Every structure is written in C-alpha cells, then in structure tokens.
C-alpha cells in the first residue's frame, strides 16, 4: 500500500527529487530494515521526489509492513507532494488523503538521491533521532557506494538498525580503523569510496541491523593505523566481517599485521586460527617473556603504551631502579594527652578532689613528661563546674553573648549578665570604685613608703599579668603601665585606692629583658618586701595558667611560708587555655599547696582580658581590707 501511494504512477503527486520515508515508533530494528528494503525498490528506480510516511507502528511490524504492504491495523501511511516533493496521505484503508495526521511529524523517512534518511521519534515532543541510509544500505543493510552529490546527506547516514529506538545509535569512533592509504575508506562490507571520506565516517556497519546484538562499542573496533584518511571498520563482534578478516590475513590492508598478531595470539575474539606449532612457539615465547619481565608479558596486550614502555626498559638492558621510598611522616601521639577530650568526659570521671594520674603507668617505671602528667590530671567535677559557670578558659564570643555579656566592652565578663543598660555597670565592691592613684615607687627597701594603709601586693614572674590585673580590678585601664615585654615593672609601685587600701605592683622575677644583676636586685627587693613589710596583708601570687608553677614561684612560696606572710594563688590568663586545662591547673596547684600553711584558699582564677573571675577576686580582696585593722 505505501508503495502504491508513493509511486509516481499514482498520479496523486509529483515525483519528488528527494524521496523521504518516515517510520514511526518502529521499535524492532528488523522491521526498520525491511521498511528500507521495500522502499529501496522505489529509490533505486530513481523516484527522487517521494516522501513516505508511516506512523503509529508501535510494534516492529507496524511501520515496516505499512511500507511493504500496509498491514491492517496500522494507523496510516502518509505521503505528501508539494512543489517538487510529492506527498501522499494514505489513511488506514489505504486511501489517499489530504489530511495530514498530527503525528506525521513524528515519523518521517526521507530518501536522498542515493540514500534514505529516516527521522525516527519515539514519541512526539521528544528529541528526534535522524538516521539515513543509502540505497545500497537499503538493499544489503549497509552503505555500499555513496554518490558524490549525496556527500552532505550521507554524512547523517546511519545504518538501518538504528531504527531500533531501544538501542543506542552507534557512534563514529565505534567503527573506525585507520589505514595508511589516503582517501580510501573500507567498511566492513568492503565497499570503498575515495570521495566519501567524511560521509563514511558517519556510517556504521551492517551488524547494527541485527537487533539481537547490542550496539558495538568503542573497544570493539578501535584499531587505528597510520594513515589519516582511510578508515577500516573492524569489529570482532561483527561476525559478518569475514571479508575484512580475510583481507587482513592476506595482508592487503596495511597495518593488518598488528591485527593479525593480535588475533594470532588469541587475544582478540579468542577464535584464532593458529597452527599447533605456532601455538607452541608462542607459548615458549610467552614463558620466556614472563621470566624476563613479568610486567612485559603479553598477557595484557591491550595496554600497548604501557607494554611498549616496559618492554623498552627491558630491551634497552636498563635495570629498573627501585623507586625511592618516600619517607612517611610519623605522627607520634602522646598516649597521655587527653587534651582533645571533652570536658564532660572529665566530669564523668571520678569526682574526688585528688589529682587522678594513671598509677599503673607511673608504677611501670615509664617516666612521663611533665606535659603528660598534666594531661593525666582528672579535675574534680566541682572545679570543672566552677570553670564552666565563670566562663573561664578559651571561649568564643558567641558563648559570652549567649550568657548575656556585652562583648563590645573590655573584659566583658566583669559585668552583670543581661544588664539592660549598655554601659558597664558600677563595680559592686565599693573599695574598688575609688580612683587608683600611684603614690610611691621603690627600688630599694629604704624607699618604701610608711605602712599607713593595709597593702595587697601582686607578685609573680615577669609578664604574668600583675600590672594588667591591677587595671582590671579597678577598671582603670592605663593607670598601671603594662607591656608584653617582660620586665617593664622594675620597681615596687604603690597605688592608693580609696582611703583604706593600698595596692602594690611588684617587679617580676624570672625571665626579663634586664641584666642579671638587676634582676637579682629585683628579686631580693621583692623577697625583702614580702617577708618584712609590716602593712602587707595579702600577697597575690600570680601564676600563668598556661605554664603553672615554676621553681622561682616555689622559692617565693617557701619564703612566705617562713615569714608567715599570707598569700593567695591567682591563676592568670585563663583565657589562653582550654577550660579543662584551667581546671587541671587548678587541681595541680591545689595539690601542691596542700601542706602550705600560709596559703589562703580558695585558689583564684582570672583573666584580665575577658574579665573572668575578676569580680570574685574583688570580693575576696575587699574582705581582706575590711577585716584588717589599719
Ligand atoms: N590574654 C591575656 N593576656 C594578658 C592577661 N593579663 C595580661 N596580659 C598580657 O600580658 C602581658 C604582660 O602583662 P603585664 O601586666 O605587663 O605583666 P606583668 O606581670 O606586669 O609584667 P612585668 O611588669 O614585666 O613583670 C601584656 O601584654 C598583657 O596584655 C590576660 O588575662 N589574658
Ligand atoms: Mg608589670
């Protein structure tokens, strides 16, 4: 029926120059082939200006038989003529119709002068696949010869099997094998056309027509020989390519030796026609190769590059140097370092006030480093909760803000949380609301001012934060000079705060940017002051939380013990370490002070920077001043 409708003898349309056949929804590839075959009879006769359209052939047979003989049940065949093109619309009954079915656009097949081109849409609205076939292809299911004129058309040609919409249309690279001769294109069918280089690149072999075979892949074909413009399509999956195989065996195709070798070694499709003697020799050769170089064996012939490189190395007689081993960077983990443990882990541990050090390790004779000993301390829950409540230790600003502190202020924790007024609230302890006044400095004991007021002195190593603490306690920043350079304070400085209290800033001991004799003089002066000063009511011995107690600190403690001077340990710069380390340090120092009689509890923990613990310290010091008779 469609043939009849498309025939020029019908007279319903002109013979068009470009016959087109469209097959719609033809899922079975085999049907698509037959469609082209049936059409080919017309095309071969030179009916150029015909268009055939079949549609609605969902099954494989639908579209095909429509062209061959209009199977009943197929929805319709359309052929249209317009100008040079003749189009006929044929309804289900085979009658010609002028009405173009709305689906006609989905199923088109057009023939060029020498080829057929089919546009297949699975469903209307989807992306269309354009496929083409030449007359030879229509005849034999392949592209055999391509006319000069149909060069541009044939570029889009693909084999009939691509009508099988369920399968991936084969790609160019899938079939190409380059040969050395220029402008000669050899397809699997053996057909050549010197001028159809560009066209043929798009062509695919006949085997695509076999619907039961999966579309060939790149690796199935790609043997590339030296020439540019000649392509030999080879597929080991194409069993119809015997002619090519023969040519290859005969050595007609340049570069076929490689292929032959490839096949002879049983490395291609496994169907090699090698004689037994050849096999035996190959086996011996293989064995030898394996012995020589296990890497260069022929077991992996596909990796030609690698093989070549490796063989080169072997052939050239160069002994392979073992690759230099990279030194692995070994990170030694301190087994006692529990700094990465969470604070809660420590809380969950035994809540006694004793320093928990792993006794088993200690008793085993393994000497722990001081740092490891420190990390092994398990602070008591009471200390940890104190640290947490006072936001001691290194914290993020967000934590302060969540707790209600204004982080825009200096020493924000020295404030009442969630205060409504933006300014800093007044100091709760009246003694520290007064103005801090410097009134005396002494480098020798004879220069000390008269002991009229009760004094609270701040002692400690250089740079521990003595001067800063004075400023923080009084919130009068800059009255006492501070510096990050140890040794700034080189004399005993006396500050009055109100009529009833005197704060004394002592020079530091230990490391300082000063001459040794000068430092020794400071130390002697401090020792003399803490041991002989009449009005001295309390010495705040400042210890850097990060570094803990040092021998010089212990020396001073011993001195104060001997002179029965009351002293209180103040951990400073708590903001520089993790909260758990603040707690550990507190535990450690408390342990050290157990036997000390002049040591006043509790241990204070402060940070002049964040203001943590400052309010507590103020209260403690105010009590000292209150209960002291002047
Ligand atoms: N992060 C932090 N830094 C602090 C704290 N207290 C003081 N500092 C810094 O420590 C450095 C030394 O502070 P000072 O108050 O001058 O220390 P000092 O004990 O008086 O030092 P000398 O006068 O040399 O004995 C300064 O740079 C301070 O800013 C603190 O609580 N936290
Ligand atoms: Mg100072």
pLDDT confidence bin for 623, thresholds 50/70/90: confident
What is the rounded distance in angstroms from the CA atom of residue 487 to the CA atom of residue 464?
10
Residue-level pLDDT at 392? 94
**Residue range 538-582, pLDDT digits in tens:** 999 999 999 999 999 999 999 999 999 999 999 999 999 999 999
**Residue range 468-517, pLDDT digits in tens:** 999 999 999 888 888 888 888 888 999 999 888 999 999 988 877 877 88
**Of 75, 82, 70, 86, nearest in space to 16 by CA:** 86
Ligand 1, residue 489: give the atom nearest the CA.
23
Ligand 2 centre from 163 Cα, in Å?
Answer: 92
What is the rounded distance in angstroms from the CA atom of residue 49 to the CA atom of residue 192?
27
Q: Which residues line ligand 1 (CB under 6 A)?
A: 460, 462-468, 482-484, 486-489, 507-508, 572-573, 575-576, 607-609
What is the rounded distance in angstroms from the CA atom of residue 523 to the CA atom of residue 519?
6
Structure tokens at 285: 């050769």
**Rounded to 5 degrees, what are φ and ψ at 536?**
-75, 115
DSSP 8-state code for residue 521:
H
Residue-level pLDDT at 494? 94
Q: For a pocket test of ligand 1, which of 390, 482, 539, 546 has the largest count of ligand atoms closer than 8 A to its C-beta? A: 482
**Of 142, 131, 138, nearest in space to 35 by CA:** 138
Q: For a pocket test of ligand 1, which of 465, 470, 541 has the largest count of ligand atoms closer than 8 A to its C-beta? A: 465
Ligand 2 centre from 579 Cα, in Å?
Answer: 26
Q: For a pocket test of ligand 1, which of 468, 481, 506, 513 has the largest count of ligand atoms closer than 8 A to its C-beta? A: 468
Interface predicted TM-score of the whole assembly (ipTM), two decimals: 0.99
Ligand 1, residue 542: give the atom nearest the CA.
19
Considering 40-49, 135-144, 357-366, 506-515, the range whose residues carry the highest mean pLDDT is 506-515
DSSP state string for 224-282: --S-SSEEE---SS-TTTHHHHHHHHHT-STTHHHHHHHHHTT-SSS-----HHHHHHH
* pTM score: 0.49
Ligand 1, residue 471: give the atom nearest the CA.
15
User: In 10 A of CB 207, how many CB atoms?
Assistant: 24
**Rounded to 5 degrees, what are φ and ψ at 537?**
-100, -30
Ligand 1, residue 572: give the atom nearest the CA.
31
**Span 129-138, mean pLDDT?**
41
Residue-level pLDDT at 336? 52
Considering 26-35, 173-182, 392-401, the range whose residues carry the highest mean pLDDT is 392-401
Ligand 2 centre from 438 Cα, in Å?
Answer: 14
- Residue 147 · residue 160 · CB < 8 Å: no
Is pLDDT above 80 for 397? yes
Mean pLDDT, the chain, rounded, equals 62
Residue-level pLDDT at 332? 60
What is the rounded distance in angstroms from the CA atom of residue 337 to the CA atom of residue 347?
17
pLDDT confidence bin for 618, thresholds 50/70/90: very high
Residue-level pLDDT at 483? 83
pLDDT confidence bin for 312, thresholds 50/70/90: very low
**Residue range 57-86, pLDDT digits in tens:** 333 333 333 333 344 433 433 333 333 333
Ligand 1 centre from 510 Cα, in Å?
Answer: 14
**Residue range 267-292, pLDDT digits in tens:** 334 343 444 555 555 555 555 555 54
């Amino acid at each position: 029926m469609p043939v009849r409708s498309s025939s020029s003898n019908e007279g319903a349309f002109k013979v068009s120059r470009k016959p087109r056949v469209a097959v719609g929804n033809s899922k079975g590839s085999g049907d698509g082939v037959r469609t082209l075959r049936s059409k080919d009879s017309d095309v071969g006769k030179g009916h150029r200006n015909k268009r055939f359209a079949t549609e609605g052939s969902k099954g494989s047979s639908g579209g095909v038989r429509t062209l061959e003989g209009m199977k009943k049940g197929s929805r319709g065949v359309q052929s249209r003529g317009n100008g040079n093109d003749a189009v006929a619309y044929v309804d289900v009954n085979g009658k010609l119709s002028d009405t173009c079915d709305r689906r006609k656009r989905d199923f088109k097949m057009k023939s060029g002068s020498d080829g057929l081109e089919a546009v297949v849409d699975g469903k209307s609205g989807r992306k269309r696949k354009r496929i083409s076939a030449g007359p030879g292809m229509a005849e034999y299911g392949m592209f055999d010869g391509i006319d000069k004129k149909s060069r541009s058309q044939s570029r889009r040609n693909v084999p009939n099997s691509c009508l099988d919409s369920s399968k991936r249309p084969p790609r160019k690279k899938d079939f190409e094998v380059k040969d050395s001769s220029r402008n000669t294109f050899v397809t699997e069918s053996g057909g050549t056309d010197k001028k159809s280089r560009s066209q043929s690149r798009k062509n695919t072999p006949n085997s695509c027509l076999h619907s039961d075979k999966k579309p060939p892949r790149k690796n199935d074909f790609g043997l590339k020989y030296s020439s540019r413009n000649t392509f030999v399509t080879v597929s080991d999956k194409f069993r119809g390519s015997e002619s090519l195989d023969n040519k290859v065996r005969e050595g007609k195709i340049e570069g076929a030796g490689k292929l032959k070798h490839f096949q002879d070694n049983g490395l291609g499709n496994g169907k090699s026609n090698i004689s037994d003697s050849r096999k035996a020799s190959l086996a011996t050769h293989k064995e030898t190769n394996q012995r020589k170089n296990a890497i260069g064996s022929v077991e992996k012939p596909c990796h030609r590059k690698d093989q070549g490189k490796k063989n080169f190395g072997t052939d050239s007689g160069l002994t392979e140097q073992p690759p230099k081993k990279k030194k692995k960077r070994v990170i030694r983990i301190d087994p006692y370092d529990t700094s990465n443990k969470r604070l809660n882990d420590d809380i969950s541990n035994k809540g006694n006030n004793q320093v928990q050090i792993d006794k088993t390790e200690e008793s085993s004779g393994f000497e722990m480093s001081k740092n490891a000993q420190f990390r092994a301390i398990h602070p008591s829950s009471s200390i940890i909760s104190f640290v947490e409540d006072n936001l001691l230790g290194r914290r993020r600003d967000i934590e302060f803000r969540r707790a209600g502190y204004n982080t825009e202020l200096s020493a924000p924790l020295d404030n009442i949380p969630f205060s409504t007024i933006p300014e800093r609230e007044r100091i709760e302890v009246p003694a520290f609301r007064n103005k801090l006044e410097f009134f005396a400095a002494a480098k020798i004991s004879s220069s000390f001012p008269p002991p009229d007021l009760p004094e609270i002195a701040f002692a400690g190593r250089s740079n521990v934060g003595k001067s800063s603490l004075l400023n923080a306690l009084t919130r009068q920043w800059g009255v006492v000079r501070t510096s990050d350079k140890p040794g700034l304070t080189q004399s005993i400085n006396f500050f009055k705060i109100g009529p009833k209290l005197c704060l004394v800033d002592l020079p530091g001991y230990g490391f300082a940017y000063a001459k040794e004799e000068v430092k020794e003089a400071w130390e002697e002066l401090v020792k003399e002051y803490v041991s002989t000063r009449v009005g001295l009511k309390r010495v705040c011995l400042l210890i850097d939380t990060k570094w803990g107690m040092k021998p010089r600190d212990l020396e001073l403690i011993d001195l104060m013990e001997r002179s029965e001077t009351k002293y209180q340990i103040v951990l400073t710069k708590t903001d520089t370490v993790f909260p758990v380390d603040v707690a550990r340090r507190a535990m450690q120092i408390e342990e050290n002070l157990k036997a000390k009689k002049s040591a006043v509890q509790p241990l204070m923990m402060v940070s002049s920077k964040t203001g943590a613990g400052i309010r507590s310290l103020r209260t403690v010091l105010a009590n000292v001043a209150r209960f002291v008779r002047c």
